[in-house]
Structure 1
Amino acid sequence: MAGAAFVVRTMARRGLLVPGPPHRVLKQFGELHKWGFGLTGELRQAAARSPGRVAVIDEARGPVTYAELLDGSARLAAALPWTAGERVGVLCRNSAAMIETLIGATMIGADPVLINTGLSGAQLSAVIAAQDLKLIVHDDEFAGLLGDFPGAVPTSRLPALIAGCPLPWATPPPRPGRTIVLTSGTTGTPKGARRPTPGGFGPLCSIIDRIPLRAGVRVLISAPLFHTWGYAGLQIALALRATIVLRRRFNPADALETLTREKCTALIAVPVMIQNLMEVPDGPMPSLSVVAVSGSALPGGLATRFMDRYGDVLYNLYGSTEASWASIATPADMRAAPDTAGRPPHGTVVAVLDADGARVPPGTTGRLFVGNEMLFEGYTNGAAKELRNGLLATGDLGHVDRAGRVYIDGREDDMIVSGGENVFPSEVEGLLADLPGVREVAVVGVPDDEYGQRLAAYVVLHVEASLHADQIRDHVRQNRARFCVPRDIVFLPELPRNATGKVVKRELPR
Structure 2
Amino acid sequence: MWDLLMDPQTYPRMFRGVGVYERAENAEGQPIPTVPGGRLVGPTAAGPVYLVVTDPGEVFELQCPHAGSFAAIRLRDNATHDTVGTRVTVTFIGLGRMGDDIASRERAEITEWTAAGLDRVADVLLRATTSVLVNGEDSPARLQVGIARQLVSTGVVRSYRPDRGIRQLGGLAKWGFTLAGGYAAAAAYTPDRPAVIDASTEYTFSEVHRRTHRLAATLTSLGFDEHTAIGVLSRNSAAMVDCMVAAGKAGVDAVLLNTGLSALQIREVVARHELAGIFRDDEFEPLLHGVSPDIPRYSTSPPAHGGPVTVDELVDYDAPHFSRPAQPGRLIVLTSGTSGTPKSARRPQPKGFGTVAALLSRIPFRMDETMLIPAPLFHTWGLAALQISTPIRASVVLTERFDAEECLRLIHDHRITAMIVVPVMVNRILDLPRSVLDRYDTSSLRVVASCGAPLDVSTVRRFMDIFGDVLYNVYGSTEVSWATIADPADLRTAPTTAGRPPLGTKLAVLDRNLRPVPRGVTGRIFVSNHMLFDGYTDAAPPTESGDMLDTGDLGYIDADGLVFVAGRDDEMIISGGENVFPRPVEEALSLLPQVSEVAVVGVPDREYGQRLAAFVVTREGAGRLDRDMIRDYIRHRLSRFSVPRDVTFLDALPRNATGKILKRVLVQAG
TM-score by length of 2: 0.74
The residue number in structure 1 matching 2:297 is 152
- Paired with 2:214 and 2:286, the residues of 1 have a C-alpha distance of 28
- Of 646, 650, 656, which residue of structure 2 is paired with 1:492? 650
1:334-373 superposed matches below 5 A: 334-373=491-530
- Paired with 1:203 and 1:161, the residues of 2 have a C-alpha distance of 32
Deviates more, 1:209-218 or 1:12-21: 12-21
- Of 210, 215, 218, which residue of structure 2 is paired with 1:76? 215
Which digits, 9 at most, give the CA deviation of each residue in 1:411-434, with x for residues without a partner? 000100000000001121111111
- Paired with 1:368 and 1:320, the residues of 2 have a C-alpha distance of 12
The residue number in structure 2 matching 1:477 is 635
State whether structure 2 residue 168 is matched by structure 1 residue 64.
no
The residue number in structure 2 matching 1:136 is 278
- Paired with 1:129 and 1:285, the residues of 2 have a C-alpha distance of 48
Q: CA deviation at 1:382?
A: 5.2
Q: Which amino acid aligns with 2:657?
A: A
- Paired with 2:267 and 2:519, the residues of 1 have a C-alpha distance of 46
- Paired with 2:539 and 2:264, the residues of 1 have a C-alpha distance of 22
| Gap change, CA 1:417 and 1:14, over 3 Å in 2 | same
Q: CA deviation at 1:215?
A: 1.1
Whether the aligned pair in 2 keeps the contact of 1:85 and 1:177 (CA below 8 Å) is no
- Paired with 1:17 and 1:226, the residues of 2 have a C-alpha distance of 28
State whether structure 2 residue 473 is matched by structure 1 residue 322.
no
Whether the aligned pair in 2 keeps the contact of 1:425 and 1:444 (CA below 8 Å) is yes
State whether structure 2 residue 425 is matched by structure 1 residue 237.
no
Which digits, 9 at most, give the CA deviation of each residue in 1:233-273, with x for residues without a partner? 00011121110001100000000001110111110000110
- Of 441, 457, 474, which residue of structure 2 is paired with 1:285? 441
CA RMSD of aligned residues (A): 1.2
Whether the aligned pair in 2 keeps the contact of 1:76 and 1:165 (CA below 8 Å) is no
What is the percentage of aligned positions where both structures have the same residue? 50
Whether the aligned pair in 1 keeps the contact of 2:343 and 2:539 (CA below 8 Å) is no
Which digits, 9 at most, give the CA deviation of each residue in 1:292-316, with x for residues without a partner? 0101111122111111111111001
- Of 218, 239, 246, which residue of structure 2 is paired with 1:104? 246
Q: CA deviation at 1:166?
A: 4.7
Aligned length: 508
- Paired with 2:319 and 2:343, the residues of 1 have a C-alpha distance of 38
Whether the aligned pair in 1 keeps the contact of 2:421 and 2:449 (CA below 8 Å) is yes
Q: Which amino acid aligns with 2:664?
A: R
Which digits, 9 at most, give the CA deviation of each residue in 1:17-73, with x for residues without a partner? 443322211010011122110111111101111110000111122x21011111111
Q: CA deviation at 1:167?
A: 5.1
State whether structure 2 residue 594 is matched by structure 1 residue 437.
yes
- Of 225, 229, 251, which residue of structure 2 is paired with 1:87? 229
State whether structure 2 residue 373 is matched by structure 1 residue 221.
yes
Q: Which amino acid aligns with 1:224?
A: P
- Paired with 2:157 and 2:277, the residues of 1 have a C-alpha distance of 40
TM-score by length of 1: 0.97
The residue number in structure 2 matching 1:33 is 173
- Paired with 1:167 and 1:279, the residues of 2 have a C-alpha distance of 53
Q: CA deviation at 1:285?
A: 3.4
Q: CA deviation at 1:383?
A: 2.1
Whether the aligned pair in 1 keeps the contact of 2:339 and 2:664 (CA below 8 Å) is yes
Whether the aligned pair in 2 keeps the contact of 1:71 and 1:168 (CA below 8 Å) is no
Q: Which amino acid aligns with 1:496?
A: P
Q: CA deviation at 1:119?
A: 0.6
1:388-399 superposed matches below 5 A: 388-399=545-556
The residue number in structure 2 matching 1:412 is 569
State whether structure 2 residue 174 is matched by structure 1 residue 21.
no
Provide the secondary structure at the position in 2 that maps to 1:383: coil
Which digits, 9 at most, give the CA deviation of each residue in 1:471-501, with x for residues without a partner? 1111100100001000100000000011111
Q: CA deviation at 1:131?
A: 1.9
Provide the secondary structure at the position in 1 that maps to 2:389: helix
Whether the aligned pair in 2 keeps the contact of 1:340 and 1:405 (CA below 8 Å) is yes
The residue number in structure 2 matching 1:161 is 314
Whether the aligned pair in 2 keeps the contact of 1:343 and 1:404 (CA below 8 Å) is yes
Unpaired runs of at least 5, structure 2: 1-140, 302-309
Q: Which amino acid aligns with 2:376?
A: P
- Paired with 1:305 and 1:84, the residues of 2 have a C-alpha distance of 49
Provide the secondary structure at the position in 2 that maps to 1:459: strand
Which digits, 9 at most, give the CA deviation of each residue in 1:222-243, with x for residues without a partner? 1100000000000011121110
State whether structure 2 residue 160 is matched by structure 1 residue 3.
no
- Paired with 1:236 and 1:300, the residues of 2 have a C-alpha distance of 28
Q: Which amino acid aligns with 1:333?
A: D
Unpaired runs of at least 5, structure 1: none
